[in-house]
Amino acid sequence: MTEDTTPHLFRPFAQRGVTFRNRVCVSPMCQYQAIDGRMTDWHYDHHVRFAMGGAAVGMVEATGVTPEGRITHGCTGLWEDGQIAPMARVAAAYKRYDCVPAIQIGHAGRKASSARPWDGAHPLGPDEEPWQTIAPSAIPTREGWHTPKAMDEGDFARIKNAFRDAAKRALAAGFEVVELHGAHGYLLHSFLSPLSNRRNDAYGGDLEGRMKFPLEVAATVREVWPENLPLWYRVSAQDGVEGGLEIGDTIELVKRLKALGIDLVDCSSGGIAGSPSLATVHPGPGFQVPFADAIRKGADIATMAVGFITEAEQAEAILAEGKADMIAIAREHLADPVWAYRAALKLDAPEAHGLLPHLYHWYLERRSRLKRA
Ligand SMILES: Cc1cc2nc3c(=O)[nH]c(=O)nc-3n(C[C@H](O)[C@H](O)[C@H](O)COP(=O)(O)O)c2cc1C
């Protein structure tokens, strides 16, 4: 048998009925440009930059399953059928360029009803059309934030149904991967963390109780998400705050998610206390890779590494060392939408040919050879 000399970053990866042409994913990035949850032309233009750029997967931002599940007034939603058509346009653009369209669906919980980042990301004031937030317990994210309503039986049923219906709409829009947003202090994460979940019923208490709602949501979505399509889950692997969620807890959760049919875990961290300055972990190159590694080995599941991964060689090493199966890149893609293509040229992957529309490749590849000569 001859050794496979293809760089790991450019080896295809198959899950269920979907084959990703390489290991690069455009990480979800909120744009805050939706109107009543509907994507606008901005979203289309934003995603087309990546669709043409050579990544294997392009993921649409955190999309609210209910209106109160949005982070801001400008966040996308999938709680009504009218939101499907503008999303279908984006999904079709990704498919046109052989990039698998994915979408992250979620509920912002107690971190909802917030201003856009460039307006200060503060909790919306009385004259900014705020709304009632919900959470496992009536504990604000931090001082000065909205006090959420503790969820009751009716809320549990309503939110699970909303996740199920949003997944069905994502399918109708043409997405081939759904990722459940279980990270960054939003609703599902806030059930898991002992800092935000102080319930004393079946949905709180020990880890078993705190996992119950996120697992029920995952099971509900898996029931309607087709067997031949992958279902992913983003975790905050640890809170990084004293008394918070730890990596061992997350590994237990992931074992259970795997048994329910989750195919990959996207490994982020933090966000429970609402401010990075309160976290004990500080971002630096590849700072979350150890989480992807620990979860991959501890729960025997495919993982995606994310966070300050900017260089082709860095991404290649993460995969070659068996620490993750996919690499998600957010901010670097904003600066360089053809990041995957450039990485292929850098790593001398013959697959570079075919990652970009033929016309672009024809010119850029020659330019790159001339620069090297
Ligand atoms: C503008 C922007 C919006 C983001 N929106 C989301 C989001 O919708 N969902 C999510 O899970 N993470 C979101 N993130 C986090 C990214 O997906 C990613 O995890 C983080 O930026 C670290 O990766 P990077 O160093 O490659 O940027 C966002 C990040 C940025 C910069």
pLDDT (tens digit per residue) in 233-255 = 999 999 999 999 999 999 999 99
Is the entire prediction scored with pTM above 0.85? yes
Ligand 1 lined by 173 (C-beta under 6 Å): no
Q: Which atom in ligand 1 lies closest to the alpha carbon of residue 283?
A: 25
Protein residue whose Cα sits closest to atom 22 of ligand 1: 307
pLDDT value of position 368: 77
Q: Which atom in ligand 1 lies closest to the alpha carbon of residue 308?
A: 25
pLDDT averaged over 10-residue windows placed end to end, the chain, 373 residues: 85 98 98 98 98 97 98 98 98 97 98 96 97 98 96 98 99 99 98 98 98 98 98 97 96 98 98 66 89 98 98 98 98 96 90 80 79 76
Q: Secondary structure of the chain in the HEC alphabet? A: CCCCCCCHHHCCEEECCEEECCCEEECCCCCCCCECCECCHHHHHHHHHHHCCCCCEEEEEEEECCHHHCCCCCCCECCCHHHHHHHHHHHHHHHHCCCEEEEEEECCHHHCCECCHHHCCCECCHHHCCCCCEECCCCCCCCCCCCCEECCHHHHHHHHHHHHHHHHHHHHHCCCEEEEEECCCCHHHHHHCCCCCCCCCCCCCCHHHHHHHHHHHHHHHHHHCCCCCCEEEEEECCCCCCCCCCHHHHHHHHHHHHHHCCCEEEEECCCCCCCHHHCCCCCCCCCCHHHHHHHHHHHCCEEEEECCCCCHHHHHHHHHCCCCCEEEECHHHHHCCCHHHHHHHHCCCHHHCCCCCHHHHHHHHHHHHHHHC
Ligand 1 lined by 30 (C-beta under 6 Å): yes
Distance 308 CA to ligand 1 centre (A): 10
pLDDT value of position 277: 47
**Predicted confidence (pLDDT) per residue in 294-321, tens digit:** 999 999 999 999 999 999 999 999 999 9
- Domain chopping of the chain, boundaries: 8-372
Ligand 1 lined by 122 (C-beta under 6 Å): no
Distance 335 CA to ligand 1 centre (A): 14
Ligand 1 lined by 236 (C-beta under 6 Å): no
| Architecture in CATH for domain 8-372 | Alpha-Beta Barrel (3.20)
Protein residue whose Cα sits closest to atom 5 of ligand 1: 29
